[in-house]
Amino acid sequence: MHIAILTFEGYNELDSLIALGVLNRIKTDDWRVTIATPGPKVTSMNGVVIEQMSGLEEACTADAVIVGSGIATREVVEDPAIMNVLRRLDPSRQLIAAQCSGALVLARLGLLDDIPACTDLITKPWVVAAGVEVLDQPFYAKGNIATAGGCLASHYLAAWIIARLEGKEAADGALHYVAPVGEKEEYMERAWRNIAPYLPAPAPALV
- Please give the pLDDT value at position 205: 52
pTM equals: 0.94
Handedness of CA 65, 148, 180, 35 (dihedral sign): positive
**Segment 130-174, tens digit of pLDDT:** 999 999 999 999 999 999 999 999 999 999 999 999 999 999 999
**Segment 11-37, tens digit of pLDDT:** 999 999 999 999 999 999 999 999 999
**Segment 33-90, tens digit of pLDDT:** 999 999 999 999 999 999 999 999 999 999 999 999 999 999 999 999 999 999 999 9
Instruction: Check if the beta carbon of residue 112 is closer than 8 Å to that of residue 136.
Output: no
Q: Is 56 left (phi over 0), alpha (psi -120 to 50) or beta?
A: alpha
Please enumerate in sequence order all residues whose Cβ is within 8 A of that of 73, keeping only pairs 6 or more positions apart, or say none.
Answer: 8, 101, 102, 104, 105, 123
Output the average pLDDT for the chain. Answer: 95
- Please give the pLDDT value at position 12: 95
Cα distance between the two ends of the chain: 32
Reported confidence tier of residue 201, pLDDT bands at 50, 70, 90: confident
pLDDT higher than 70, residue 203: no
Query: Is residue 173 within a helix (H) or strand (E), and if so which, with residue range?
Result: helix 168-178
